[in-house]
Amino acid sequence: MSEDINVLALVKGQERYIFLYDDKNRSQALRVLGRYASNPELSFSWYDAAVLSQKIRRTPPADAATPRFKLPQTSDNLWNEDLGS
């Protein structure tokens, strides 16, 4: 298991929101974004929560295998044409 820490930051004027989470606590980080957005005492908005939650969801876990190169996708029709079918 990876012990990497993910860092997510938002700067709004003079305020700084910095979120630290590991891969096993992604769902907890998402809940915190919602709690911050629902707090009227903070300038953190639902839009901020939506943007940051997208970043969390789109960032692959550290232990996910990263391909070294991208293989072209083939379709069944192309495969059959190459075989002379």
Question: Using one digit for the tens of pLDDT, what is the confidence trace for 14-40?
Answer: 999 999 999 999 999 999 999 999 999
Q: Which residues of 40-79 are buried (b: 16+ CB within 10 A; e: fewer)?
A: eeeebeeebbeebbeebeeeeeeeeeeeeeeeeeeeeeee
* Residues whose CB falls within 8 Å of the CB of residue 45, separated by 6 or more in sequence, listed in order: 37
Q: How many CA atoms lie within 13 A of 80 on its CB side?
A: 4
The tokens of 15 are what? 């305020």
- On the question of pLDDT at 1 being above 80, the answer is no
Question: Using one digit for the tens of pLDDT, what is the confidence trace for 53-82?
Answer: 999 999 887 766 566 667 676 655 555 555
- Which band of pLDDT confidence, cut at 50, 70 and 90, is reported for residue 50? very high
Q: Can you give the pTM of this predicted structure? A: 0.67
